Structure 1
């Protein structure tokens, strides 16, 4: 599925959700936020995701320049995914989502910043 080259958004947050929205992309990005990972590592860390969905979501994140896919010329081939420079600009957002979720899980209200 090819994305339209130019899309109009009603508010800026809509653009963010368009790129990182959905259950799987956010989980993938949270794991890559901790450092580069191979496909098999991501699959182990997100066991509920199918291989097909993981591949599709990684492909979309790569097309949106959020992650980088590096293929190492060896046998068997080694493929590593990591955050791009643009993806790294999401670090503070991902960290805040993680912090909020941790506080929610612990039953506390998030502290105001």
Structure 2
């Protein structure tokens, strides 16, 4: 929420989620979505980060910054640790490949890991 509240508007922000966030387990998600919409940000659900460049609302756009918070495939019970690591590596690689297709020439990609401390 920091960017939209800092700018005071959200016209230049597109926020996406993989899940249909209206039925999410994230406690603050609905409040955050309401703030984004009130500030006129674009909010899209069911966007796969590994195929986002082909999404009808994102295709053909160029973004100056793409921020990906907590990229992780989730937990798949029964998989060995090395297999989970490979799934996550493939996921992040797919994200970077797609981000490159919609990133402006001098654009930046920022990834925030779950355990990254706030500065």
- TM-score > 0.5 by shorter chain: no
Q: Say which structure is richer in strand.
A: 2
Q: Say which structure is richer in helix.
A: 1
Quick one: higher RCO (CA 8 Å, sep 6+), 1 or 2? Answer: 2
> How high is the TM-score relative to the length of structure 1?
0.28
> How high is the TM-score relative to the length of structure 2?
0.27
